[in-house]
Amino acid sequence: MARTLTPETVAIVKATGPALQQHGLAITTRMYERLFIYEEVRELFDMAAQASGEQPRRLAAAILGYAQNIDKLQNLTPAIERMVARHVETGVKAAHYPYVAEALLPAIRDVLGEDVATDAVLDAWGQAYWFLADMLIAAEAARYAELVDA
């Protein structure tokens, strides 16, 4: 079933967006510490880095930057197309998305603390993450299917 964003989720994500942006580097760093515990995920990035070096950092930056456009999703279309293309090149699959969710959300709490990153905030960010992830997963599945048919 397609996920939806409630007005409450949009409001919380927008309200916390600036704090996440301000601490973006710390959150990104913490997220990768958590994410690269999983060898099968780290391998995707090791292989990708040989081709493009700095790009892994864009993943978290994109998720955080998404907050700014969560009420203007049409602005995200070109960015989403680039992400889909890169994910398909590097072999990202639907099964990888929970790893990023489970690294990003605790990283937000680690850095901002539980007074700012309350349960309600993390819940809203979880909803927002999966809303974006669902769009990416659907577009990537369609692209993989085209590649098989080609």
Give the count of residues interacting with ligand HEM (CB under 6 A).
26
Tell me the two tokens of residue 28. 């990104």
> What letters, b where the CB count within 10 A reaches 16 and e where it falls short, cover 114-129?
eeebeeebbebbbbbb
Q: Per CB under 6 A, does 125 bind ligand HEM?
A: no
Q: How far is the CB of 115 from ligand HEM (least distance, A)?
A: 26
Q: Which is nearer to ligand HEM, 95 or 149 (CB)?
A: 95
Distances (CA, A) of 45 to 7, 20, 80: 35, 23, 19
Q: What is the CA 11 to chain-centroid distance, rounded?
A: 19
Q: Per CB under 6 A, does 137 bind ligand HEM?
A: no
DSSP state of 72: -
DSSP state of 69: G
Residue 38 annotated as catalytic: no
Q: Which is nearer to ligand HEM, 29 or 114 (CB)?
A: 29
Residue positions annotated with a catalytic role: 97, 140
Binding positions for ligand HEM, rule: CB under 6 A: 41, 44-45, 48-49, 52, 55-56, 58-59, 62-63, 82-83, 86-87, 90, 92, 96-97, 99-100, 129, 132-133, 136
